[in-house]
Every structure is written in structure tokens, then in C-alpha cells.
Amino acid sequence: MSARSGARSRRRHITTAEVRGPSYWLQATAVQAPAYADFDRVKREVRPLGQLRDSFIIATDLTGVILIDQHVAHERVLFENYLRQKIAGHLEVQRLLLPIVVELPPRQMVILENIVPELMQNGFEVEPFGPKTIAVKTAPAILKAGGVEKLLRELLDGLERETQVMNIDALKRKIAATVSCHAAIKINTPLDETKMRWLVGELMKTDVPTVCPHGRPIILRYDLREIERAFKRA
């Protein structure tokens, strides 16, 4: 059954009670390693120059050239902001004007039943709508209503492929990462200078600016010495 499109009506805040603190959730998402030597020292000096194919931001720091994947960079920014809002109990939620009705296979219906409490903590109000369908009434405000069904299917597909039982901590991170991925700027999206500067600045403020929540690299860097050697100037 195709989804009946939803739209934003109003936003509210959902309150949550978390046992873990912010530092636990942010540090648990990736092994924080510098992108290169002296990264922590020079990351405030990163300046965007332009875009490559409307997908990668070209930037410089004090002694090199940097390529930044704009999608995963924005994903990292949204992920950390999302977790902080959730932990603080101020996660913004949108109520859909029309519920999004989704048909699921039996195994995914079982998986969904097991994760409904955590989905509720993340702003998804999901109710049964027949033996094989569900109705989604609310979703996190950072999502476009038209992408909610795709997100839920991707989340359930991933959980169905898991070979081991996922603990609650891993489930919390997976939901937050999936929401952030779907809400992030896509590749092939032109960004003006103001948007590039904003994104690079916000990325450098994150706790883990080098790796996205799914483990993909965000930054590639070419040191000035490498460039000089390539031009046979070293």
C-alpha cells in the first residue's frame, strides 16, 4: 500500500528521561581520531573556497587543502544536535495533517512492535491500522513529511538484517543516525558561500567532526608538502 502523504501541521516538544549523559551518547558513536596531525589545533582555521560537483566542499586550513563531503558533514551536525535535544527533553516533533499509512511484512511488524517505545521517544507516534499496516501520526520536525515512510522502511530493513540482538544503546544511536541521514543536505545540492561557511563552522564545533554517525569519513586532506612534491617543488 502506498503512503498517504502527510504534511506538517504544528510543532510540539516531546519530553524524555535519559539515564546517560550527553558525553556518553556522543562519544559512543565513533572512535574520535584526528583527521591529521595538528587537526585540533588548526580546525578553526578551515575556510571554504567552493564546491566540487555540488557535492564536496573544497576548503583550506593553515597548511593544506581539504575536501568535505557535505552530506555526511551535515549528518554529523544534525546527529549531535538531535541527541542533545533528545537528552534535554526538547526534541521538536511535527504532527502530520494526514497519518502516513504503511504496509509491512509480518517479520517487520514484529520488529516494529518491539521498538515502538523507543520510536515514541524519538517523536514517532505509530499505531496499528489493520493486520498488516501501521499509521504514523507524528515524526521528528527535522524530517520532511514525504520522507517518513522511506525512513521507517530503511530502519526496519536494517534491523531485520541484524544477525545479533541489538541492545537499547545501539538502537538509540541507530534511530538518531537514520533520522539525521534522511534530514541532511544531499549531494548534488548547490550551496552558496554563506551556507558553506555555516556548515563548515558547525562541523568543526562537533565532538567528532571527522566521521559520520555511520562510520564514513567526512574529511579528506592533502598537506601542502604532498602538493609540493606532486609538483616537484619539494
Domain range annotation of the chain? 8-222
Nearest to 59 by CA among 197, 229, 231: 197
Integer CA distances (angstroms), 144 to 15, 108, 147, 185, 195, in order? 21, 23, 6, 12, 20
Architecture of domain 8-222: 2-Layer Sandwich (3.30)
| Of 94 and 9, the one with more pLDDT | 94
* Beta strand pairing call for 91-103 and 64-69: unpaired
The pLDDT, as a whole number, for residue 206 is 93
CB within 8 Å of 141: residues ≥ 6 apart: 8, 11, 92, 93, 94, 123
As a whole number of Å, the end-to-end CA separation of the chain is 63
Q: Which three cell numbers stand for residue 178?
A: 537514520
The sign of the CA dihedral 171, 173, 179, 181 is negative
Q: What integer is the mean pLDDT of 200-223?
A: 93
pLDDT band at 20 (very low <50, low <70, confident <90, very high): very low
DSSP bridge partners of 138: 95, 125
Look up residue 169 and give its amino acid: D
| HEC sequence for 169-213 | HHHHHHHHHHHHHHHCCCCCCCCCHHHHHHHHHHHHHCCCCCECC
Look up residue 25 and give its amino acid: W
> pLDDT per residue over 34-79, tens digit each?
565 566 666 778 999 999 999 999 999 888 999 999 999 999 999 9
The pLDDT, as a whole number, for residue 36 is 59
> pLDDT per residue over 81-140, tens digit each?
999 999 999 999 999 999 999 999 999 999 999 999 999 999 999 999 988 999 999 999
pLDDT band at 29 (very low <50, low <70, confident <90, very high): very low
pLDDT at position 2 over 60: no
Query: Rounded to two decimals, what is the model's pTM?
Result: 0.82
> pLDDT per residue over 127-186, tens digit each?
999 889 999 999 999 999 999 999 999 999 999 988 677 788 899 999 999 999 999 999
| Of 108 and 6, the one with more pLDDT | 108
Asked whether the beta carbons of 125 and 137 are under 8 A apart, the reply is yes
| Of 206 and 234, the one with more pLDDT | 206
The pLDDT, as a whole number, for residue 140 is 96
The pLDDT, as a whole number, for residue 17 is 35
Q: Which three cell numbers stand for residue 61?
A: 586550513
